[in-house]
Structure 1
Amino acid sequence: MKFSDIMRTTKDRIRQAVSFEALGVILSVPLAVFIFGFDLDKTSVLGIVGATMATAWNYAFNLMFDHGLKRMTGSTRKSLKTRLLHAFSFEAGLLVVFLPFITWWMDIGLVEALVVDFAFIAFYLVYAFVFTWCYDTIFPDDDASDRRRPA
């Protein structure tokens, strides 16, 4: 069995990323408008820019992280400790990039922008868990499907 036989295709990964971000914006923007009382138009732009930044950062960060990990350890295998470092580093990097935009675009102070950013982080943590579970159920990859498990 080749490695590519058990992994998602590029087309599937693009479908997953686009559907994740599109649905995320559709759900998070009205929620942010309701919770924070922001203008829908400005919040929509915030959501779209945030999703675009997150997608670009995800690609760049994972590329850098995996290359650094391979250089340091000889492998891209991630222990629990490494996964925690990865998750927190990813969110910290996104915070550094997105926070100035939130402050500027929404014309709010740094503390309020932090609250908004942490609210988006909390939303996306729960949303990512639910979305990925649903996506994997609707579009299982060959390696994860029940038909590959011995009876």
Structure 2
Amino acid sequence: MRTKLDRLRHTIGFEALGLIILIFGINQLLNMEMSQIGILAIVFSIIATVWNYYYNILFDKAMLKKTGQIHKTTIVRIAHAIIFEFGLLFITLPIMAWWLKISLLDALILDLGMVIFYLVYAFVYNLAYDKVFPIPQSKLPPTQSS
């Protein structure tokens, strides 16, 4: 399993880079004021940071319980990213509608665009992070033959 310090580095790096890309991207694509989208993005970043931290711990514990290991294949990484984003969507949708003074449907469309961005971003970021900071191999006791 990853250490708390490693998880903190992962989460802060993920959110900081994602914020930069998101704020500048929405500003360029939708011509929204950077201050308006920036405040919302920062609030969402805080929410996502907390969600990310606990979600990854729960995901790893569930994987360890189900499979006995925490190595994530490409398919598992895809599932990991999709489940994460749908959980975050559930949390952020009403906040976005309220802050931007738009309907829930408009907020859903905008949020789905952000989800698509973050699905791709989370997949690429986590693959890169695993390469740069590999998961330490736990020392398992040798198995005994029957």
TM-score normalised by structure 1 residue count: 0.69
Q: Which amino acid aligns with 2:98?
A: W
How far is the alpha carbon of 1:94 from its aligned partner? 2.1
Q: Structure 1: give runs of 5+ residues left out of the alignment.
A: 1-6, 70-74, 144-151
Q: Supply the distance in 1 between the matched residues of 2:52 and 2:92 (Cα, whole angstroms).
A: 13
Equivalent residue in structure 2 for 1:142, among 130, 136, 139: 136
Q: Which residue of structure 2 aligns with residue 77 of structure 1?
A: 66
Q: Supply the distance in 1 between the matched residues of 2:103 and 2:31 (Cα, whole angstroms).
A: 15
The answer to whether 1:52 aligns with 2:46 is yes
Q: Supply the distance in 2 between the matched residues of 1:11 and 1:109 (Cα, whole angstroms).
A: 40
What percent of counterpart residues are identical? 40
The answer to whether 1:122 aligns with 2:116 is yes
* DSSP 3-state at the match of 1:76: helix
Q: Supply the distance in 2 between the matched residues of 1:97 and 1:30 (Cα, whole angstroms).
A: 23
Q: Which has the higher contact order (CA 8 A, sep 6+)?
A: 1
Q: Which residue of structure 2 aligns with residue 133 of structure 1?
A: 127
Q: Structure 2: give runs of 5+ residues left out of the alignment.
A: 68-74, 138-146
- Give deviations 1:44-75, integer Å, cap 9, x for gaps: 111111121122233455677788x7xxxxx7
TM-score normalised by structure 2 residue count: 0.71
| 1:1-150 to 2 correspondences below 5 Å | 7-60=1-54, 76-77=65-66, 84=79, 90-143=84-137
